[in-house]
Chains A and B, each alone.
Chain A
Amino acid sequence: MLHIKCPYCGMRSQNEFSYGGDASVKRPELNKEISDEEWDNFVYNRKSLRGKHLELWQHLSGCRQWIKVERDTATHEIFNTYKADEEIS
């Protein structure tokens, strides 16, 4: 079970969180004309990366905040965690 640092609550066990997928995906703006391909990429197409991956998790059984977790998908190493609106350098 992973040990994830919630930026609001501190170190918590994985079973308090739910997984929210690739955090680098950006929803197209509302009312914006976009191609089918662009929309498909947003809705369906995800890379299955091996290695460092920025992903969303929600601290569901905690503060209910969505957070960003930088994790290695192969080793499960967590490098850093961020608030959802935090700029990542």
Chain B
Amino acid sequence: MTQKFRLENGGLINRNKKLSFKFNGKTYYGYEGDTLASALIANGVHLVGRSFKYHRPRGFFGAGVDEPYAIVQLYRNNETEPNIKATEQELFEGLEAKSVNCWPSVNFDIGAINNFLKIFLPAGFYYKTFMWPKSFWYRVYEPFIRKAAGLGVASTKHDKERYEHKYEYCDLLIAGSGPSGLASAYAAAKNGARVILAEDKPRFGGSLLTSDVNIGNQSGEDWANSIISELKEMPNVVVKNRSQVFGYYDHNMLVMLEKVSDHLPKTKKHHPKQRLWYVRAKQVLISSGSIERPLVFGNNDTPGVMLSSAAKEYLKVYGVLVGKNPLVFTNNDSGYETAIEFKKNGINPIILDSRVNPQSEIIDEAINLGIKIKFSYVVVAAQGYKKVRSADIAKISDNKKQLGTVENISCDCICVSGFWTPTIHLASQSGNKTKFKEEIDAFVPGTSKQNETTLGAANGIFTLEETLKSSFTAGQELSTKITNNDNKISFPNVVEKKSSQHDKFWCVPLPKGKSYKRFLDFQNDVAVSDIEIALKEGYRSIEHVKRYTTLGMATDQGKTSNLNGLQLVSDIENKVVPAVGHTTFRPPYTPISIGAIVGREVGKHSKPNRKSPMHSWHEKNNAVFVDAGVWLRPRYYKHGNENLFEASKREAKNVRTNVGVCDVTTLGKIDIKGPDAAELLNRVYTNAWLKLPVGKARYGVMLREDGIVMDDGTTTRISENHYHMTTTTAQAANVLSHLEYYLQVVWPELNVNVVSTTEQWAGAAIAGPKSRKLLEKLFPNNDVSNEGLPFMGYTESELFGVKARIFRISFSGELAYEINVESDNGQFMWEKIIELGQEFQVQPYGTEALSTLRIEMGHVAGSELDGRTISYDTSLEGLISKKKDFIGKRSLNREAFTSGDRQKIVGVVPLDKKTSIPEGSHLVKDAKAPLPNKKLGHISASCWSVEHDNPFSLAILKDGKNMIGEKLFVMSPLKNKVIPVEIVSSHYVDPKGERVRS
């Protein structure tokens, strides 16, 4: 198929590079430099989708970021992406795209029957209709809506593309490379300021690429190119195209999306698909330009009705005609520029101008070119279903209320211009209080809240000379303040045509007896009549009207609809627009892919992975790992075909009978030094610490100020003013911050320093009846007898020449020791333990066996210290000193904490001694009681007791103290289990604690 609507010459496309692409399965050709939209229009394709609510045919309305219609599903390199604007997507060889929101096809769409049957869904339709009856939601409404609606399909596959995040600082961030962006960037760059200039389109220059102007004896486009090439050469300037500054956050932090590879068939190796820039700028210059406003008339959503500026852009940038028999409908001079471009390319447009008798240079030029102009004329309605075929037009009275006789003229497109709306999104996001500018019927930025300045058309300045002058000055003055340089730039001579005043008229009245839909919001199908209904039903606040009608709530965020919506509300309400106010602009300015937001933090990069120095040994010995916070810990070591249950049972059993070794490097370690170290511990822990001798360890529990247990662990006095604290793996970071808070903020008079040494020490726990024999082999020169190194004792030694710390502490309830060596020697220590432990049947054990051992001993851990329990609940109340004050003590006499039937830790054994008890299950008195069955407690941890060879669990149970011997039921609706159980002591093994002292 030939490109029937492509001009022979002209445009900024590369005609030497022809590209093939597919749309809805059909192959077409375009050129390098095309967008998908320009290439489709060149091929005469004007029907690209169906509207969201009524499924009316949809074509192209704009040529860029403001596009409300042409949203497609894109296929690129075996991946698919929804919500892509055809007007932004650059063409590449092999591109494939499909229409969305139409079923079964764009040409025959079942949903559109709604349109023909005139079941027009009015404002609030969803609220009114789908609210009742409730059961209809699941059976009728939801399946229907799911089938009918939707703007594409998200891929369910893993996204193999790479998305990067980048942090950058600069003096000036300039958003938009039109005349104001270029002028301000140039002036600031010449002053030596660090400048980032961002342009969302592939080409720099903005409106200069399409306007007929002259700057310093160059065309606008040539001037833009020369400025850009100069800027690119400057070391203090970063120039980025395909980069949209979409969010303006606190303290001049802006976020910009750079589409690095979306214009290529495939992302290059080592390149990201997209890059998200976090830019902290000293000053921000917003040069985001303006978007043309639509005029509102009957059937103004018909394919072929489009913005006149878009028609001009297709002509001048892409060499594409949006029609060969165009009608231009305007209320200002911009429509004339488009008509003149048509005329220059051999096409004869007709201009309908709503104004009575406007006069300007541009109008004179159009008249001189012989263009047919009808003043005081309007388009009443577009005719044609899938494409404009003709227009009903009429003369309009001077007061814009009465239409003359309606006549029909043939045309194949209607280019509309309702004047210009400054793009104030970024300024508004920054907290700028915008103000209404009467002369242009639009909002412009007002008082800045952050260091932000809006320039040119975005600031409501529509003449090139004034734009350039004010932008040069702004770039110059702001950069001088930062760099103290003051290089003056000579201002270029500017030639542009003078415009006349626009007409405030924007909405064509309905002719008698006609009920054409006149659309305001083209993406969400919100018509004039919807706003009228909302107001009739009592909605007044513009925020409410927006939500009730969905005006401006589509993915285009109402870029073309907001202002006309406000105009309509203010017309009906007889208010001025500023009194109605506008809705809030929120980031992102354009839709951003989830991948870009997530960046590289996906899969195994979603969090840091910490590994112990013995990790490679564990790997080599068939360890199966588990995440413990950010650490990777061996869960069990697989022998043959063992599963988790079998392996952990074997490992735990071996600890109880022989000796096991466990990697405990991950435990939090905090080094505490200073003359007041003991005093700090005494305030932080619930028990007494002032009399702990050097060379001794003590177990301690710390509370939060509200009395809840925060963490537990042992702390060892290494020397007079030096302590070694251990924390649980999970709480290590919080405990350090907690200590720092009290030392720096609450008790700065304490002379103590704390520092994390978690990563400095590798730790191995040696546990089991044969652990002392193993220790004797490891440290032959030390007295490790029960007298030489008693329970909770500490000594320092050398492990075959390597400095080592030996703690006699136990988590398993067995005779046990913990050896610490400097991390670099961890692997050496581990291998020595395994090597010398062979004769004692040493086996490594993982976290699963570790849990089994601590559960059957009744040692509490994270699942009991869950942020809801106090010392009493976890049977740690014996460690509460009555003689001293400590953090959280004052909270312990709260009524709920001291009540007689307070929850307490207990042991739970199934009556059949066989059924495993799911963790998290509830304990109830009567399994058959009516719902809701009163919960008495919950299972916090479960294991298979290797000592008793039956299941055993710990539970936090109401009045647990008096429940020993009671028979209850464990209920797990999740696992569909009801298990009769007996409540026993939480100390299921060695209740007197003799083994650890043996």
Measuring CB to CB, which residues of chain A are less than 8 angstroms from any residue of chain B? 1-3, 13, 18, 20, 27-28, 30-31, 34, 39, 42-44, 56, 58, 60, 64-66, 75-76, 78, 84-85
Contacts and interface: CB of A to CB of B under 8 A. Distances in A.
B737 A58 contact: yes
Contact of B706 (A31, A43, A56): A43
Interface string B234-256: 00000000000000011111000
Contact of B744 (A27, A34, A75, A84): A84
B488 interface: no
Interface in B833-887: 884-886
B705 A42 contact: yes
A1 B249 contact: yes
B136 interface: no
Given A1-B251, A20-B741, A75-B431, A30 B683 contact: yes
A78 B431 CA distance: 15
Interface string B278-296: 1010000000000000000
A64 B891 CA distance: 28
B744 A65 contact: yes
A30 B683 CA distance: 9
Contact of B737 (A13, A27, A30, A60): A60
A76 B746 CA distance: 26
Interface string B555-576: 0000000000000000000000
B251 A2 contact: yes
Given A1-B278, A85-B744, 5 more contacts: A1-B249, A3-B252, A28-B890, A60-B737, A76-B250
Nearest to B893: A36
Nearest to B755: A64
B147 interface: no
B119 interface: no
Given A1-B249, A75-B431, A84 B745 contact: yes
B822 interface: no
Nearest to B895: A36
A1 B748 contact: no
A56 B252 CA distance: 22
B449 interface: yes
Contacts of A30: 683, 885-886
B486 interface: no
B395 to A, nearest CB: 53
A13 B249 CA distance: 12
* For the complex of A and B, 7 pairs with smallest distance between CB atoms: A3-B251, A30-B885, A66-B744, A31-B885, A76-B250, A84-B744, A1-B253
A89 B250 CA distance: 27
B740 interface: yes
B608 to A, nearest CB: 12
Contacts of B280: 3, 13
A64 B744 CA distance: 10
A49 B230 CA distance: 51
Chain A binding surface SS class: loop
Contacts of A28: 890
**Residue in B251, B706, B746, B886 with the greatest tally of chain A CB atoms within 10 Å:** B251
A76 B891 contact: no
Contacts of B884: 31
Contacts of B890: 28, 34, 39
Contacts of A34: 890
A66 B891 contact: no
Contacts of A3: 250-253, 280
A23 to B, nearest CB: 8
A85 B748 contact: yes
A28 B886 CA distance: 12
A34 B885 CA distance: 13
Contacts of B746: 27
Contacts of B740: 58, 64, 66
Interface of B: 167, 249-253, 278, 280, 431, 449, 683, 705-706, 737, 740-741, 744-746, 748, 884-886, 890-891
A31 B679 CA distance: 14
Contacts, number: 56
A56 B705 contact: no
A43 B891 contact: yes
Contacts of B251: 1-3, 76, 78
A20 B741 CA distance: 9
A20 B737 CA distance: 10
A43 B891 CA distance: 9
Nearest to A85: B748
A30 B742 CA distance: 12
Contact of A39 (B683, B741, B891): B891
A76 B885 CA distance: 38
A43 B251 CA distance: 32
Contacts of B706: 43-44
Nearest to A20: B741
A65 B744 CA distance: 7
Nearest to A56: B745
A39 B887 CA distance: 12
Contacts of A1: 249-251, 253, 278
A44 B891 CA distance: 11
27 contacts: A1-B250, A1-B251, A2-B250, A3-B250, A3-B251, A3-B252, A3-B253, A13-B280, A18-B737, A20-B741, A30-B683, A30-B886, A31-B884, A31-B885, A42-B705, A43-B705, A43-B706, A58-B740, A58-B741, A64-B740, A66-B740, A66-B745, A75-B431, A78-B251, A84-B745, A85-B744, A85-B748
A85 B886 CA distance: 22
A81 B504 CA distance: 51
Contact of B449 (A20, A42, A44, A75): A75
Contacts of A27: 705, 746
Contacts of A44: 706
A78 B249 CA distance: 14
A44 B706 CA distance: 8
Nearest to A83: B744
A47 to B, nearest CB: 18
A34 B884 CA distance: 15
A17 to B, nearest CB: 12
A30 B740 CA distance: 18
Nearest to B255: A1
Contacts of A78: 251
Contacts of B741: 20, 56, 58, 66
A8 B944 CA distance: 53
Nearest to B889: A30
Nearest to B891: A43
Contacts of B250: 1-3, 76
A56 B742 CA distance: 12
A13 B169 CA distance: 11
Contacts of A20: 741, 745
A54 to B, nearest CB: 12
Nearest to A66: B744
A24 B446 CA distance: 36
A31 B746 CA distance: 14
A30 B746 CA distance: 11
Contacts of A76: 250-251
B347 to A, nearest CB: 51
A42 to B, nearest CB: 7
**Residue in A13, A18, A20, A66 with the greatest tally of chain B CB atoms within 10 Å:** A66
**Residue in A3, A18, A34, A43 with the greatest tally of chain B CB atoms within 10 Å:** A43
Contacts of B431: 75
A3 B169 CA distance: 12
**Residue in B449, B740, B741, B744 with the greatest tally of chain A CB atoms within 10 Å:** B744
A84 B280 CA distance: 27
Nearest to B251: A3
Given A3-B251, A28-B890, A84 B885 contact: no
A2 to B, nearest CB: 5
A71 B850 CA distance: 47
A64 B739 CA distance: 11
B898 to A, nearest CB: 13
A39 B890 CA distance: 7
Nearest to B704: A43
